[in-house]
A and B are shown apart, each in its own frame.
Chain A
Amino acid sequence: MIPTGEATIGPFFPPRYVDAGANDLTLFEGRKAKGEAIEIRGRVLQEDGAALENLVLEIWQTDAKGIYRHPADPRHAQADADFLGWGRTVTDAGGEYVFRTIRPGATEGRAPHINFMVMYSGLMRILKTTMYFTHEMDVVLSAVPVSRRELLIAKKQGPDGYRFDIRLRGENETPFFDD
């Protein structure tokens, strides 16, 4: 029997590490962020199609007006005080994750998007990718080979939901960025 990844090098984050609510970006310190609340769900799979449990995902994005809560953003003084822009979650036994967040605004040269980070045992390095809402071009999506761009565009699911599956390797492999 090939052992599971978790048994291979010990756990990734310890069990209490992903704080309850860290995957809900619509609420920050009890206050509601401005903008349109959306839900992003997806499954994370490895090459043989096995769903990966207890895999850690983090996201980083702008607020509804397209402002990053960071001094590098010239408009950051106007960022929504009730939106952190960062969240973390883990996949369940079926390899599924969910984030509740605010639809990000567009920024200069960039279509609305959400940065994702994948961390797991057996991944020697963090994997980074980016989720888009539409095919609207931007400078990062343009760097992706045409045939693979579709894999970065979330599928609409229900009135306020999106689906963004992540395949670490193999058929329909998610494009990851070298940075």
Chain B
Amino acid sequence: MKTVIDPRDERTQPARIVPGYPQTPLRNPREPLIRRPPTLSELSGPLEVARRVRVLGGDIAGQGEKQAIGQLIHLRVRVLDEDGAPVGGTVVEMWQANGAGRYIHPNDDDHAPPDPNFYGAARLVTDENGQFELRTVKPGAYPVPTRDGWWRPPHVHFSLFGKVWLSRLVTQMYFPGEPLNAQDRILNAVPDTVARERLVAQLVPPSAQPHNALVYEHRIVLRGRTATPEQS
């Protein structure tokens, strides 16, 4: 099993220093990043993360008495590698705000109420087609505490491993048609409009199944010319 990895195309990736995002100039390197020849060290990587961390399951919206508040959605996500081949058996971690735009996190402020029936994180493993399905509620938008009124649009964070160290990806998924998408400083830090669109899921036309949830489809490409941009 040998993997070839092309360098990432900078235009399809977010700028590291983002105007109006005050932490980015303090945390991103000043020195140019160093290009290194990929060796076995970078072209191998952990394939059995699921044996080290707890897999948490694909339903975080809850059932019965303990259901989260919000628009019930299903996310159908397909994970592909550089060659467009499905990446099966890889660990995918996700986290999101609740329906009101609040994270379950001590650092989150109190602009919106917590939801006792929503933890807001899952850890799954893709099937042999590189797919997973997650039942959740649509995350709310939330304000960023900068002085000038920046709101994050509804989004879901994803962290993926793939097959080698260089395919590790942390990204975010956005929802189509959200007015806040056009102003978000993180989404729009990606200069290439086509690459940016790859961060937005697609709404599947509602049908009989499932009768009670909206379905969104999304593709995450770990590397290559059609790679999904990083969004940490």
List chain A positions with a Cβ less than 8 A from chain B: 2-17, 19, 22, 28-29, 46-48, 50, 52, 54, 58, 60, 62, 68-73, 84-88, 107-110, 113, 115, 117, 119-128, 130, 139-140, 143-145, 148, 168-170, 173-179
Does B232 sit within 8 A of A, measured CB to CB? yes
Q: Are B144 and A139 in contact (CB under 8 A)?
A: no
Asked if A143 meets B23 with Cβ closer than 8 Å, knowing A10-B105, A115-B41, the reply is: no
- Bound-state CA distance A41–B48 (Å) is 25
Q: Are B30 and A169 in contact (CB under 8 A)?
A: yes
B-side contacts of A121, CB under 8 Å: 23, 232
B contact face: mostly helix, strand, loop, or mixed: loop
A-B residue pairs in contact (CB < 8 Å), sample of 22? A6-B105, A8-B22, A11-B105, A11-B108, A13-B159, A15-B106, A46-B27, A84-B48, A84-B52, A107-B39, A108-B40, A110-B40, A117-B165, A124-B15, A124-B189, A124-B230, A124-B231, A128-B165, A170-B30, A177-B33, A177-B36, A179-B38
Q: Which 5 A-B pairs have the closest CB atoms?
A: A122-B23, A178-B33, A86-B46, A70-B44, A6-B107
Q: Taking the nearest CB of chain B, how far is it from the CB of A128, in angstroms?
A: 8
Interface with A: B2-10, B76-84, B173-181, B195-203, which one?
B2-10
Does B217 sit within 8 A of A, measured CB to CB? no
List chain B positions with a Cβ less than 8 A from chain A: 1-3, 5, 7-8, 13-18, 21-49, 51-54, 93, 95, 97, 103-109, 119-121, 123, 142, 144-146, 152, 159, 164-166, 168-170, 186, 189, 230-232
Give B123's nearest chain A residue, CB to CB.
A17
- Tell me which of A4, A17, A29, A139 contacts B95 (CB under 8 A): A17
Q: Are A10 and B31 in contact (CB under 8 A)?
A: no
Asked if A124 meets B34 with Cβ closer than 8 Å, knowing A13-B95, A15-B105, the reply is: no
